[in-house]
Amino acid sequence: MSIDSLSVLPPRLAEILETFGLSDPQGKMELLLEFAESLLPIPEELADLAGQPELVPECMTPVTVYMHQHEGRLRFYFGVPPEAPTIRGYAAILQQGLWDVTPNEVLQIPEDLYSAMGLLHILTPQRVNGLIAILAHIKRLATQALTLPPASHPTNL
């Protein structure tokens, strides 16, 4: 993904990615940690709707994704355990970068978001795959938002 294609992204997400792109590896990790600490808690009314997070065996971090829909705009909330700060950081980037966007804006996000962030040099391939899975999941939710009546969709990933 080139810097040019950042123009298809929602402005806040493009801004975050640009900041990552300009940082050295150490700076990227520091940024990711800052994001991890800024992940918003799941609002109670959404959490009440959620089932038990799906616990995947082995080392997969259980991630729960909640979508809130209001007047055609989406917000995403994530349940990620505190002992998985890398995933929390990534979730917070998506949360802030996709705050009040439309479903179509979500669907336009390129799959190789991570290469623009320069994360491939600091994260292992399997972790990047985990991040790709979260993005793919959000896109499925956005597709649902286009077809289903407005509601909150808590889902387990």
Residue numbers of the site for other proteins (CB under 8 A)?
25, 29-30, 32-33, 36, 56-60, 82-87, 89, 122-127, 129-130, 132-133
Least CB distance to other proteins at residue 101 (A): 25
Least CB distance to other proteins at residue 90 (A): 10
Least CB distance to other proteins at residue 53 (A): 12
Beta bridge partners of 67: 76, 153
CB nearer to other proteins: pick between 33 and 50: 33
Backbone dihedral region for residue 72 (phi beyond 0: left; psi -120 to 50: alpha; all else: beta): left
Distance CA 58, CA 102 (A): 35
Least CB distance to other proteins at residue 126 (A): 5
CB nearer to other proteins: pick between 52 and 126: 126
CB nearer to other proteins: pick between 98 and 119: 119
